[in-house]
Structure 1
Amino acid sequence: MAGDASRSGASVTSRALALLGAYDEDHRRLTLTELAGRAGLPLATAHRLVGELVEWGALARASDGRYVVGRRLWDIGLLAPLNAGLVEVASPYLHDLYGATLATVHLAVRDGAEVLYLDRLAGHASVPVVSTIGSRLPLHATGVGKVLLAHAPADVQAAVLSDLTRVTPYTVTQPGTLRRQLARTVREGWATTVEEMSLGACSVAVPIRRGPDVVAALGIVVPSLRNDRPRLVAALQVAAHGVGRAISGLPVTGTPA
């Protein structure tokens, strides 16, 4: 149960928030009955509020009749000062990287124990890329995710290392191996994956810093890193340095959990 908003005196706002709070990583598509149960609301109340949330755009009804989080919540989230400013100032650097490599380029931040993709430019090469703007993927299986995990607090690292799910046959699921990769990422300033998130796709990523803090990651997805990794790392680092300088004056809204 995600919460209990049925107690006496609960406001309309708290009940609506309870419905939104019913969603998590394992519950992305919910029926009305499931929403009511996880939010601790009577079915009739949930029905009325869900209708209003759909009309406003906070929820959307899928073709199978279940409800999913609406795009409007994502749009509002991007208005947070750091995220909004980050996407805006990073955009020309992403386009420069894309122009130089014709590869898929990612801008991402850490959201708890996942990597959240804020922006993406699709490359010309037919490389399987599973990320989309607004999607969340495992930190340990993506290049940008490894960069962000390497600079995450110890409790976040411990939580991720305790549950290394296998996405492909090449996903790193041995904690000791991943710890060594994270240490190398901190030491050398970049991280890579080789078919760890999707077969046929490799990635390389670097941190974006705001002063001493790593606030985001910049990555590229390509078919192979065998010959081009040094060139790609150099291009990413130049771009990341430019983004870091540009966001130095943005308001701070806190760091991800």
Structure 2
Amino acid sequence: MNSSHDGNGTNEGPSRARGQRPAHGEPLLDRAFRILACFGPDVPELSLTALAARADLPKATALRIARQLTEHGALERTDSGHYTIGLRLLEIATVAPRGHGLRTVALPYLQDLWHATRQHVQLVVREGLEGVLVERLSAHDAPRVMYRVGGRLPLHATAPGLVLLSFAPTQFQEDFLTADHPADDDNLDLAATADALRPKLAAIRRDRYAVFSRPQWDTPMTGVAAPILDRHQTTIAAISVITPSQQNQPATHIPAVVAVARAITRAMTTEAAHDPLP
């Protein structure tokens, strides 16, 4: 897993010794993204000193890059002189087809599913070895879940993650299952469950839905998820409903989740039919 993100979207500093100067020739873009990755839902703004420390950059380097990012709108300055993420990044992100484009097509169907369940409804895509939460609709009285919009979640320890892993290319699945994934408070120990996951992934491909429970959360939760396909019949996303385990009877949500996933698939296919690109 990407160790720079936990289930809450918080960020940890890189492993290089704090204060050490970046390697000679390290691309400016890499350092700029390290600065941007310092922010999170629990860290909305940072002083220059804190930003340099979290990015593991010399203060002068952090200042130079932060000024450039501010000039382009990727960062903004608060009244106190701290740095925060700029709206320009949101403007750019809204044109991402796997993010905003998918969300635009799927949102009416997600809203229907939310009205039917009055629980958490999620839209997730795969990015590398993790899932990324593109959209979430939640009832005001639904128990808190650990994942925020834009945050990352484990493929092997969530219902939508299991769907995305199940329909990923075979070689990707094997590489994922045999890779060294550290266990932490949010992720199950994949090394201990990899052999058991293979038949489970096969069952998900057969049934076209996944069910997964998280008993270790403060409020145990159970998710039901199903795949969304593109016009080439490739899985591009997963939707899920998450409810408290003590209230949840997964079988009651499976038909609705599968039906909505199919409806979004049809809508995506229709949308693509009007796209002049091959």
Alignment TM-score > 0.5, same fold: yes
- Checking the alignment, whether the CA contact within 8 Å between 1:195 and 1:201 is kept in structure 2 is yes
Report how many aligned residue pairs link the two structures. 241
CA separation of 1:55/1:198 partners in 2, compared to 1, >3 Å: closer, same or farther?
farther
Measure how far apart 1:164 and its partner are: 6.1
How do residues 16-95 of structure 1 correspond to structure 2 at under 5 angstroms? 17-22=29-34, 31-32=51-52, 35=55, 37=57, 43-54=59-70, 56-59=72-75, 72-95=88-111
Distance 1:78 1:146, change over 3 A: farther
Contact 2:160–2:240 (8 Å) recurs in 1: yes
- 1:203, 1:225 within 8 Å by CA — same for their partners in 2? no
Aligned-partner Cα distance in 1 for 2:104–2:132: 16
Cα separation, 2, equivalents of 1:189 and 1:50: 46
3-state secondary structure, aligned to 1:218: strand
Matched, 1:154 2:170: yes
1:49 shift after superposition: 2.0
Residue 109 of structure 1 aligns to a residue in which SS? strand
Conservation of the 8 A alpha-carbon contact between 1:141 and 1:171? no
Aligned-pair distance for 1:169?
Answer: 9.2
Gaps of 5+ in 1: none
Runs (5+) with no aligned partner, structure 2: 1-13, 44-49
Partner of residue 129, structure 1:
145
Give the Cα–Cα distance (whole angstroms) in 1 for the partners of residues 90 and 184 of structure 2. 28
CA 1:239–1:223 in 2, change beyond 3 Å: closer, same or farther? same
The 1:126–1:155 alpha-carbon spacing in structure 2 relative to 1, beyond 3 Å, is same
* Structure 1 position 245, deviation (Å): 1.2
Query: CA deviation digits over 1:141-200, x for unaligned, max 9?
Result: 111111001112234323432326254697764111222221111111111111167341
Compare 100-109 and 67-76 and name the one that shifted more. 67-76
The one-character-per-residue Cα deviations of 1:31-71 (angstroms, maximum 9, x if unpaired) are 3156364xxxx753431221231454434689xx9977666
Q: Which of 198, 203, 214 is the matching residue for 1:179?
A: 198
For the residue of structure 1 that corresponds to 2:34, the secondary structure is coil
Q: Which residue of 1 aligns with 2:228?
A: 208
Are the equivalent residues in 1 in contact too, given 2:35–2:51 (CA < 8 A)? no
Contact 1:142–1:197 (8 Å) recurs in 2: no
1:238 equivalenced with 2:259 (yes/no): yes
Counterpart in the other structure of 2:240: 219
Residue correspondence of structure 1 range 96-111 to structure 2 within 5 A: 96-111=112-127
In the TM superposition, what is the alpha-carbon distance from 1:103 to its structure 2 partner? 0.8
Q: What is the CA-CA distance between 1:216 and the residue it aligns to?
A: 0.3
Q: For residue 192 of structure 1, what is the aligned residue in structure 2?
A: 211
Please give the per-residue CA displacement for 1:71-112, whole angstroms capped at 9, x wherever unaligned: 643552231234332101111101100111101100110011
**Distance in 1 separating the partners of 2:204 and 2:82:** 41
Contact 2:121 2:138 in 1 (8 A): yes
Q: Helix, strand or coil for the counterpart of 2:205? A: helix
Give the TM-score, by structure 2 length. Answer: 0.71
Partner of 1:112: 128
- The Cα RMSD (Å) is 3.7
Distance 1:90 1:96, change over 3 A: same
Q: What whole-Å deviation, never above 9, does each CA across 1:229-250 have from its counterpart, x for those lacking one?
A: 2231111111111111111233
Normalised to the residue count of structure 1, the TM-score between the two structures is 0.76
Q: Percent identity?
A: 32
